Amino acid sequence: MTNIIPELNNFQIEKIDLEEFLEFLNLDSEVKAFLQKACELAKKRKEFLYFAGGVVRDYFLRKNTKDFDLVLEGNLEDFLKELFKEVRGEILFKSQFLTYKVNIEGNSGKTFIIDLVTARRELYEAPATLPKVFPSSFKEDILRRDFTINTLILGLTPPYEGKLLDLLGGKRDLEKGIIRPLHLFSFVEDPTRIFRGIRYKVRFNFEWSEEFYQALNKAFEISSLEKLTGSRIYQELKLYLLKESLENLKDLLELTYDLGVFEKVGLKLKRERFLNLVKWLEVLEKELTFQEKEKVFFWGLIWNSSEGALRLGLSIKELNKFKASEEFIKSRVSFLSKMGLSEKVEFLEKVPFLPLLVLSLFYEDLKEEVLNWIKVYRKIKPKLTGEELKKMGISESPKIGKILKFLRDKHLEGKIRSEEEEKQLVEQLLEEESFLN
């Protein structure tokens, strides 16, 4: 593989309309005001402030962007202290990688969070370890990046104000739709770049360069993927859900499998499960929080594998809960079709929510019933509350719970619909003291 870094001394400079660029970003007026103050201060301090990475890449692709890398070549902490004399703000978090998360309060009182980054170089002391970082120049900041398409920078202050700097042929690769790592040992240093390369290929419908495969083979040869921690693997797979559309998830998983990446990181997954898992997540999408969807995704991937759970750092206690739930379901699922609706709902509610969703992937007889329960039946509740039942003369908690369950059963059976019908039924129950004893 040819190292592309020698091109660095002959980089391309192109004039860019900053106003048009900022319009493309569609920034809130308060964010724009903050950015203007930051630029004024950087000019005063004679420090280079620039956009880098995804925000510049997506500008040329004309795609909406959520990336917002604002980078300073200089002492960012001192810069922020001085900036906070002009704007109301505070540092929320400073990472070991010289990145800062700051909270800014605009003139209207509205607050927003901005991520700022120090221009830096990275030193990897061993494969797949987190790097040591040091403040450095914008050129070395570019050299630490993953792919050429992410090496474009747009200057906001002198000496390159309003200039696109293309140090490594990133714009050329962007136009050709090529994902190219910067050097042969890129994936040895940081194997998580492979997952990003997979995401970019699917998201942008780009192709991997020959250098991508060479870097991948070098990472396989040196066994760097095996050295990744479980938490880093988990976070990269989580980004398949968080950063990418659900309609691309199957392609992402299959590409990861076909490249041999799952196997190399120590996950023995079954490719034939991917389609079923993705379809199930699509069906459930509007019914689940992201955290619930995340759980279904990971447990659905490694289901019934203690090794997989351990490799990703998942809870073995939670795995055992899943297995106990499966034993409960296996013993009863064949009778599910013969149960009445109230009995089915009672059965489903005895199983913890997340195990129920995951197990539905592997028990077809269960899936349709679970889907009906999630979308319809679990939302059916009595209109009367416990407090209202107390006003009707029912004081003991066990009796209140028993009546509320009875009312819901009647709703499920379609025998009552209104609050008035509920009250009439409760009054009948009060007359029939045997029900409450």
Q: What mean pLDDT is predicted for residues 185-193?
A: 98
H-type helices in 28-176, by residue range? Answer: 29-45, 54-61, 76-83, 138-143, 170-176
* Token duo for residue 338: 């013969």
DSSP SS3 for 185: coil
Residue 400 pLDDT: 84
Of 185-194, 315-324, 349-358, which has the strongest mean pLDDT? 185-194
> Which band of pLDDT confidence, cut at 50, 70 and 90, is reported for residue 419?
confident
Residue 394 pLDDT: 80
How far apart CA 242 and CA 26 sit, in angstroms, is 22
Q: Is 54:30 a contact under the CB 8 Å cutoff?
A: no
How far apart CA 217 and CA 186 sit, in angstroms, is 11
CA of 311: how far to CAs of 265, 303, 306, 374, in Å?
9, 13, 9, 31
Residue 90 pLDDT: 94
Q: Is 174:149 a contact under the CB 8 Å cutoff?
A: yes
Write the DSSP symbol of residue 368.
Answer: H
Say whether pLDDT at 434 is over 90.
no
Residue 9 pLDDT: 57
- Between 84 and 1, the more confident residue is 84
Whole-structure pTM value: 0.90
> Which band of pLDDT confidence, cut at 50, 70 and 90, is reported for residue 395?
confident
Residue 437 pLDDT: 62
- Between 75 and 396, the more confident residue is 75
Say whether pLDDT at 4 is over 60.
no
Give the residue extent of every domain in the chain. Answer: 5-185, 386-436
Say whether pLDDT at 133 is over 60.
yes
Residue 436 pLDDT: 59
Q: What mean pLDDT is predicted for residues 270-275?
A: 95
Looking at the domain that runs over 5-185, which CATH code has it been given?
3.30.460.10
Write the DSSP symbol of residue 164.
Answer: E
Q: What mean pLDDT is predicted for residues 115-120?
A: 96
Q: What mean pLDDT is predicted for residues 7-13?
A: 69
Least confident segment among 8-12, 133-137, 249-253, 363-367? 8-12
Q: What mean pLDDT is predicted for residues 151-178?
A: 97
Residue 1 pLDDT: 54
> Which band of pLDDT confidence, cut at 50, 70 and 90, is reported for residue 433?
low
CA of 132: how far to CAs of 121, 122, 129, 183, 216, in Å?
8, 6, 9, 19, 23
222, exposed or middle or buried, with CB in 10 Å at 0-12, 13-18, 19+?
A: middle
- Between 436 and 75, the more confident residue is 75
Q: What mean pLDDT is predicted for residues 40-58?
A: 96
Q: What mean pLDDT is predicted for residues 192-214?
A: 98
- Between 425 and 241, the more confident residue is 241
DSSP SS3 for 416: coil
The mean of the pLDDT values for the chain is 92
How far apart CA 186 and CA 193 sit, in angstroms, is 8
DSSP SS3 for 103: strand
